[in-house]
Amino acid sequence: MGIGTVGAGTFTVLSRNQDEIRRRAGRGIEVTMVADLNTERAKEIVGDAAQVVADARQIIANPEIDVVVELIGGYGIAKALVLEAIAAGKHVVTANKALLAVHGTEIFAAARAKGVVVAFEAAVAGGIPIIKALREGLTANHIQWVAGIINGTTNFILSEMRDKGLDFDVVLKEAQRLGYAEADPTFDIEGVDAAHKATLISAIAFGVPVQFDKAYVEGIAKLSATDITYAEQLGYRIKLLGITKRRDSGIELRVHPTLIPTKRLIANVEGAMNAVVVQADAVGTTLYYGKGAGSEPTASAVIADLVDIGRLLDAAPASRVPSLAFQHDELSTLPILPIEDVITSFYLRLRVADQAGVLAKITGILAEQEISIDAVIQREADEVSGEGGNQTDLIILTHDTTEGRMNKVLGQIQALPSVLAPVVRLRKEELA
């Protein structure tokens, strides 16, 4: 259902590697019907190899079809078609992270009741097999946290901002020109796409229901080249990270620009590439790196799901790997924590009057709230506001504290007459 970029890649790779896939799956995987509103384009892709129809419900009604591949995207018709396919007793493979992040609980329940599989490796990080790693490869582990660069568009933009010293708006236009960003890039640059993926990762890592509405989401549109430069000078890179952590009181689930030490491998993931770091008790730290989008990389994940279904087609539902890695009746009730309860460290940039006592007042406010300082840099006033200038930038790195406590501190600092502009606050993760 849908034969655009990923659908065409799936058809191509299936055709090209059919013999290899059959040897692995134990049976052939044949595309017999393709549904797309643009039937002419679909026919150009598949030729005489499959029947092309405009109505996706013809696929669902076909009793000979075992598996439906949904590559339409979005929340609307895709949801209806997936649920109808499940009701018809068909397994479903999808790359639709938005659909599963928002409606996954309903869809997985329907699949469980009908005894069919909903597989979604392609929904997170394109061709990187992170879902399989979390759900199967790391099944012996107590996973502590997962952090990932899981949106290639924003990573490309941040890499360009750092390399060329340009501001966000300039680089976004270039990314659109080169095809890395959509004409409407909102889902990418506001962090929504990454949050869809982080929601699925969190559910699988910790055995909790998908709860996209509880995620904290902050994009990169307000990020300044100035902060990228200062972070670099302090030994950090800024990346848009999807982060989920297990704590005794609940699960952190958040997406936001994050300072990472440059010595971490993930800090050096550039361009449109994706990477995910998993910290677990038995295996320690593992890193998964590769292309997070594109026709054939994503097709690779779609076909891996098809092979899994092919291998287990005759297996009893209880013998299959659960959708969210944990048995349904063993899902945790740990809540998703509000952002105010999240524990992290911070980068603060303050534009202040270049006068005596300013730093002492600011550090005093931090001390009152028991927030310890990791590092402080004060720029020369001439560098910030020109020769003879009377303004300077003060950059402070803190140790861990709660977001709620930092909010109180920033309210007090912002009220100081010597603070001349809104304080820039970014979160910092050591990922150690």
What residues are labeled active site? 197
Would you call 399 helix, strand, or coil by DSSP? coil
Whether the Cβ atoms of residue 10 and residue 93 lie closer than 8 Å to each other: no
Dist CA 395 CA 399 (whole Å): 14
Tally of residues, the chain: 432
- Quick check: 307 and 25 in contact, CB under 8 A? yes
Report the sign of the C-alpha dihedral through residues 199, 200, 202, 208, in that order. positive
Q: How far is CA 372 from CA 185, 364, 376, in A?
A: 38, 10, 11
Burial label for 111, CB within 10 Å (0-12, 13-18, 19+), is buried
Q: Are strands 216-217 and 250-261 parallel, antiparallel or unpaired?
A: parallel
Half-sphere exposure of residue 93, counting CA atoms within 13 Å on the CB side? Answer: 24
Rounded to whole angstroms, the Cα distance separating 60 from 55 reads 10
Alpha-carbon dihedral 175, 176, 182, 185, rounded to 10 degrees: 70
For 284, half-sphere exposure in the C-beta direction (CA atoms, 13 angstrom radius) is 1
